[in-house]
Amino acid sequence: MLIFPKNFVWGAATASYQIEGAWAEDGRGESIWDRFSHTPGKTRDGDTGDVACDHYHRWRDDLELMKQLSLPAYRFSIAWPRILPNGRGAINAAGLDFYDQLVDALLAANIQPYVTLYHWDLPQVLEDAGGWLNRDITNAFVEYAQVVVKRLGDRVKQWGTHNEPFCTAFLGYRDGVHAPGLRDEAASLQAAHHVLLSHGLAAQAIRALQPDAQVGIVLNMWTVETLQDTPADRAFAEMQWQKDCGWYLDPVLRGQYPAQAWAAYEGKVPAIQPDDLKIIAQPLDYLGLNYYMRALYDGPRRAAKLPDAEYTEMDWEVHAPGLYRLLTKIQREYPAVPIYITENGAAFKDTVENGAVHDPRRVSYLREHIAACHQAINDGVDLRGYFAWSLMDNFEWSHGYSKRFGLTYVDYATQQRIPKDSFQFYREVIKRNGVD
Ligand code: FCB
């Protein structure tokens, strides 16, 4: 039995657009994900988050689920357009009330809220003004953070500024597969810079309002690995790490962009003002890491599927040792910082049989990744907690509802929630504070 340190935080995560629905209710403004998902051809089967898990109306039932799970911590995000429908200025009281009630109910149930300010649902009006390409958005983000912290900061201690800036910038502005759907590499690097700058500015603003706030950022990371181990492969892996992971981790923890990647992006690098990197590198109370898989390359191309490896419904390789290697790499190579795994989980094809969902592959995925966390702690990594993705099945961005990551199955036709076997498994992990 692998027992975790006494204060280790067990949690589950969700995000506003993926679960809330109620997209046009109670004064909520339009977000870039409403616009994107309502545009034909952008999401699988034209799925949208209009209803999603209807969590906006059913949050009390979902809180019951969390209690059933004996969940000590819940990571969720706030929908900016619910709070500030015009992006800036007038506050929508109903939006703030929604999260206010949720926070009170969580605390009453002894569940610690971990609140993410930005999990991709930018107000569309701000996108119309240039989105993350317009430097002024950093001021808008600070104003938004201040409004939320003023209301919730007496009860919420754990703040995350951004979820996965890589996805905001690279998937949204370079690859075009996330909102707002641009395909322009130089633009994506500028967007990334503004996201990072807004993180630093918001961290300052949150601490000014709430001195005991714990402020972090959540980055999606993976190890870059190669099938062959030649000097060329090693050089390639280092460059790819810098472009995908170091591009976000280095500014935040080291106050600089990684040099080789910077040189490789010649002609496309972002415009930066003199103090930007100092602002971005605010001391962090924690670093959140979302880990799903390693990135395996065959020469400079992504490796074909390995015959003896397992893949999820996303076609992501199941590879828990990569999580261990990622944690120990960051511990070895970067300045010390407490770490949380803020997301980890897997999509598999789930079916309901006699009212139950048996998901043995998700159970082993969780078991192996939790064991990797334990090994990392034993080897000196300052890992403070683990959040499963996700509390329940939800809108998986461009994949719509076709990918189920939940510990809880959601029947979208009836909105019935059915805890899967992995839910019971995770409940035992939490109760025993460990895994076999
Ligand atoms: C992460 C996102 C999260 C979810 C998982 C599967 O990139 O943060 O919203 O979609 O992937």
Residue of 389, 402, 405 best suited for mutating to test ligand 1, as the one with most atoms within 8 Å of CB: 389
Q: Which ligand 1 atom sits nearest the alpha carbon of residue 164?
A: 8
What are the beta bridge partners of residue 411?
416
CA neighbours within 13 Å on the CB side: how many for 29? 24
Q: For residue 199, what are the CA distances in angstroms to 133, 296, 307, 435?
A: 15, 30, 41, 35
Residue of 167, 341, 393 best suited for mutating to test ligand 1, as the one with most atoms within 8 Å of CB: 167
Residue of 19, 164, 245, 387 best suited for mutating to test ligand 1, as the one with most atoms within 8 Å of CB: 164
What are the beta bridge partners of residue 317?
311
Distance CA 32, CA 122 (A): 6
Q: State pTM to two decimals.
A: 0.98
Which tokens hold the place of 396?
A: 């998986």
Determine whether the shortest distance from the Cβ of 343 to ligand 1 is under 6 A.
yes
Q: Are 37 and 49 a contacting pair, CB within 8 Å?
A: yes
Across all residues in the chain, what is the average pLDDT? 98
Q: Which ligand 1 atom sits nearest the alpha carbon of residue 163?
A: 8
Distance CA 286, CA 53 (A): 30
Helix (H, G, I), strand (E, B) or coil at 64: helix
Q: For residue 292, what are the CA distances in angstroms to 74, 131, 231?
A: 19, 28, 27
What residues act catalytically?
164, 343
Determine whether the shortest distance from the Cβ of 167 to ligand 1 is under 6 A.
yes
Distance CA 375, CA 112 (A): 25
Determine whether the shortest distance from the Cβ of 396 to ligand 1 is under 6 A.
yes
Largest pairwise CA distance in the chain? 62
CA neighbours within 13 Å on the CB side: how many for 102? 28
Q: Are 115 and 156 a contacting pair, CB within 8 Å?
A: yes
Q: Are 391 and 343 a contacting pair, CB within 8 Å?
A: no
Rg (CA), the chain: 20
Q: What is the DSSP letter of 402?
A: G
Which tokens hold the place of 338?
A: 């407490």
Distance CA 217, CA 275 (A): 20
Q: Which ligand 1 atom sits nearest the alpha carbon of residue 345?
A: 6
Torsion angles phi and psi, residue 419, rounded to 5: -60, 130
What are the beta bridge partners of residue 388?
12
Tell me, in angstroms, the distance from the centre of ligand 1 to residue 231's CA. 33
User: How far out from the chain centre does Cα 37 lie?
Assistant: 19
Helix (H, G, I), strand (E, B) or coil at 168: helix
Summarised one tens digit per residue, pLDDT across range 282-293 is 999 999 999 999
Distance CA 346, CA 388 (A): 9
Scan for tokens 């589950």, then name that residue: 12
How buried is 315 (Cβ within 10 angstroms: 0-12 exposed, 13-18 middle, 19+ buried)? exposed
Determine whether the shortest distance from the Cβ of 393 to ligand 1 is under 6 A.
no
Summarised one tens digit per residue, pLDDT across range 145-171 is 999 999 999 999 999 999 999 999 999
Q: Whose CA is nearest to atom 4 of ligand 1?
A: 396
Residue-by-residue pLDDT tens, the chain, 436 positions: 999 999 999 999 999 999 999 999 999 999 999 999 999 999 999 999 999 999 999 999 999 999 999 999 999 999 999 999 999 999 999 999 999 999 999 999 999 999 999 999 999 999 999 999 999 999 999 999 999 999 999 999 999 999 999 999 999 999 999 999 999 999 999 999 999 999 999 999 999 999 999 999 999 999 999 999 999 999 999 999 999 999 999 999 999 999 999 999 999 999 999 999 999 999 999 999 999 999 999 999 999 999 999 999 999 999 999 999 999 999 999 999 999 999 999 999 999 999 999 999 999 999 999 999 999 999 999 999 999 999 999 999 999 999 999 999 999 999 999 999 999 999 999 999 999 9
Q: Are 4 and 434 a contacting pair, CB within 8 Å?
A: yes
Q: How many CB atoms lie within 10 A of CB 273?
A: 10
